[in-house]
């Protein structure tokens, strides 16, 4: 296997992390597509475990994947908090974000 596909995967992870840190939705969506493409390239190449260098690079990539996961969880939690604050501001103490609102009689 060429180390090029692993290099692309590592770069895609780093780019996704940068986009997550910038909190830019369009950039995040583009980087996810880049990551998806890089993952597909690694899957089709196969046999990367044969090389010690490739295994080391895969360990670095695993760390980047974990860093991206932590950022996504943080952003998800922050979004949930914002939704709860908005719900509280409109008087919905439970913050039923996904509940269908009913019309109040006039």
Q: Say what the pLDDT of residue 33 is.
A: 97
**Percent over 90 (pLDDT), the chain:** 56
Q: What is the Cα 19 distance to its own chain's centre? A: 9
Q: pLDDT tens digit string along 86-97?
A: 988 888 766 555
CB atoms within 10 A of CB 8: 18
Residues 6 or more apart whose CB falls under 8 angstroms from that of 97 comprise 83, 87
Nearest of 60, 49, 59, 58 to residue 1 by alpha carbon:
49
Q: Give the pLDDT confidence score for residue 35 in this predicted structure.
A: 96
**The two structure tokens encoding residue 66:** 């974990």
pLDDT by residue (tens digit) across 48-68?
667 888 889 989 999 999 999
pLDDT at residue 104, rounded to an integer: 62
């Amino acid at each position: 296997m060429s180390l090029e596909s692993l290099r692309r995967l590592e770069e895609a992870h780093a780019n996704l992390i940068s986009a997550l840190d910038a909190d830019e939705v369009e950039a995040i969506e583009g980087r996810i597509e880049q990551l998806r493409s890089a993952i597909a390239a690694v899957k089709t190449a196969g046999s990367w475990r044969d090389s010690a260098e490739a295994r080391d690079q895969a360990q670095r990539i695993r760390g980047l994947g974990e860093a991206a996961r932590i950022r996504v969880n943080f952003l998800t939690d922050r979004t949930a908090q914002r939704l709860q604050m908005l719900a509280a501001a409109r008087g919905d103490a439970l913050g039923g974000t996904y509940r269908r609102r009913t019309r109040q009689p006039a």
